[in-house]
């Protein structure tokens, strides 16, 4: 009964709130006021039912939390599908096949979108090292992306270096920048770290924007060559397909490497650093070395991503590296689930592909984006797919491990 009353109050409140915009319509030319009472009823009914739904879901979530405390947690359906090998293996296989044949089924335009999505997979996984594993909130991640992109553009412009030469150089330069950023922020944590990294990202962008002799300012650099294939000139369509497969391979390598890193001595040290800095040091972990490694390795992937981005678009300017990009990459990591590779990949694909295919609703894009963020954080704060800790199984004499974590 109290639920009914609450929902009633909610609907009255919403009718009141939306009254000026939904009901009253002033026609300035005719100087008349139109009263659209029908809208009022719709808003009332809508908010009434939504509030019911909202409470039902919250209750369900609390029940789940209680069960978890009592040690009989059930995995959610999505979680189950992606983490239990019996279900996940066929899905991964199907997904891989789909990815491999993608350019033959869809148009060049679609392939291009997919390349962008894959670049974000790379960026998301890179940032996942810094934020998800080492727990260092980095809001200026896009700076390393810019470093990668500009190192290809500039090295090519001045010295004529090719894509394959610059790919490792770009990654390396980004790593150097990662360490450069790492040193001053070694002592900082949480919000303070976030602010400094945010500033760092802006500095890089502003330098690129204003230092005309170096970076050609806002007009950017055009005619960046696409990656070559043993010196063969490729037309746009073939080149796109080529970059697409390159990107798939890069993404696979990234997943492989990040997975390996996560399940290593170094990965455990990052986790410990995230969990408790003082205890981590007391366990003999060198905080400075571990943090700088996280920054450097995270930045490396952004560097690779940047080089590929420059090669793909053939034109870059500072406008591609705004704070919004950092924010999107960060939301990929958070939405996907901190430290969870599958989650981050999934989130990257959703975050980049959905807006592209929902162009019909483009006016409501940011609205939907914001609403889904809020809903996610309320109902699944651990992300789409939470990172499950790896389990080890023992025999008395010989021990072996089972169940790879993702």
Q: Which residues bind other proteins (CB under 8 A)?
A: 71, 257, 260-261, 264-269, 271-272, 275-276, 278-287, 293, 297, 389-392, 394, 399, 401
**Cα–chain-centroid distance for residue 194?**
16
Shortest distance (Å) from residue 226 CB to other proteins = 29
Shortest distance (Å) from residue 338 CB to other proteins = 10
Taking the least distance from each CB to other proteins, the nearer of 208 and 258 is 258
DSSP label of 225: P
Compute the Cα dihedral for 208, 211, 216, 217 and give only its sign.
positive
Shortest distance (Å) from residue 295 CB to other proteins = 13
Burial of 282 (0-12, 13-18, 19+ CB in 10 A): exposed
d(CA 274, CA 267): 11
Shortest distance (Å) from residue 137 CB to other proteins = 16
Taking the least distance from each CB to other proteins, the nearer of 238 and 281 is 281
Taking the least distance from each CB to other proteins, the nearer of 89 and 389 is 389
Q: Which residues of 84-116 are buried (b: 16+ CB within 10 A; e: fewer)?
A: eeeebeeeeeeeeeebeebbeeeeeeebbbbbb
Taking the least distance from each CB to other proteins, the nearer of 282 and 324 is 282
Shortest distance (Å) from residue 258 CB to other proteins = 10
Taking the least distance from each CB to other proteins, the nearer of 33 and 282 is 282
Strand-pairing partners, residue 211, are none
Burial of 389 (0-12, 13-18, 19+ CB in 10 A): exposed
Give CA separation, 21 vs 15, 17, 182, 271, 275, in Å: 10, 9, 49, 49, 48
Taking the least distance from each CB to other proteins, the nearer of 55 and 287 is 287
Taking the least distance from each CB to other proteins, the nearer of 44 and 267 is 267
Shortest distance (Å) from residue 125 CB to other proteins = 14
Strand-pairing partners, residue 25, are 34
Taking the least distance from each CB to other proteins, the nearer of 42 and 257 is 257
Taking the least distance from each CB to other proteins, the nearer of 6 and 391 is 391
Shortest distance (Å) from residue 223 CB to other proteins = 36
Give CA separation, 148 vs 92, 282, 303, in Å: 30, 36, 4
> Which tokens is 102 given?
């993608």
Shortest distance (Å) from residue 279 CB to other proteins = 4
Residues in CB range of 45: below 8 A, 6 or more apart: 11
Shortest distance (Å) from residue 397 CB to other proteins = 10
CA angle centred on 25, ends 20 and 27, rounded to 5°? 140
């Amino acid at each position: 009964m109290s639920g009914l009353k609450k929902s009633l109050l909610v609907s009255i409140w919403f009718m009141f709130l939306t009254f000026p915009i939904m009901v009253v319509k002033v026609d300035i030319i005719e100087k008349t006021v139109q009263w659209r009472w029908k809208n009022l009823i719709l808003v009332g009914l809508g908010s009434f039912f939504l509030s019911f739904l909202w409470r039902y879901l919250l209750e369900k979530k609390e029940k789940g939390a209680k069960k978890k405390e009592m040690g009989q947690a059930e995995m959610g359906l999505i979680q189950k599908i992606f983490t239990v090998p019996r279900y996940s293996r066929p899905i991964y296989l199907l997904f891989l096949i789909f990815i491999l044949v993608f350019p033959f089924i869809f148009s060049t335009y679609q392939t291009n979108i997919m390349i962008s999505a894959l670049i974000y997979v790379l960026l998301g996984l890179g940032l996942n090292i810094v934020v998800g594993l080492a727990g260092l909130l980095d809001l200026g991640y896009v700076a390393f992306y810019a470093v990668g992109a500009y190192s290809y553009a500039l090295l090519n412009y001045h010295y004529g270096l090719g894509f394959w030469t610059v790919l490792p150089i770009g990654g390396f330069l980004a790593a150097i920048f990662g360490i450069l950023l790492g040193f001053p922020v070694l002592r900082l944590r949480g919000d303070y770290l976030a602010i400094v990294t945010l500033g760092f990202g802006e500095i890089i962008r502003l330098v690129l924007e204003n230092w005309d002799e170096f970076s050609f300012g806002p007009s950017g650099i055009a005619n960046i060559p696409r990656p070559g294939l043993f010196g063969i000139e490729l037309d746009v369509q073939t080149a796109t397909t080529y970059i697409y497969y390159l990107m798939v391979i890069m993404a696979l390598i990234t997943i492989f490497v990040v997975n390996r890193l996560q399940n290593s001595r170094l990965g455990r040290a990052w986790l410990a650093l995230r969990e408790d800095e003082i205890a981590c040091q007391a366990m003999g972990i060198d905080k400075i070395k571990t943090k700088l490694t996280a920054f450097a390795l995270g930045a490396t992937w952004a560097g690779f991503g940047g080089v590929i981005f420059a090669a793909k678009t053939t034109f870059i300017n500072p406008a591609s590296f705004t704070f919004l990009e950092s924010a999107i990459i960060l939301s990929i990591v958070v939405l996907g689930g901190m430290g969870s590779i599958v989650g981050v990949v999934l989130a990257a694909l959703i975050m980049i592909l959905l807006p592209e295919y929902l162009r019909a609703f483009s006016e409501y894009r940011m609205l939907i984006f914001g609403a889904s963020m809020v809903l996610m954080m309320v109902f699944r704060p651990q992300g789409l797919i939470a990172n499950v800790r790896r389990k080890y199984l023992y025999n008395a004499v010989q021990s072996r491990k089972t169940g790879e974590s993702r």
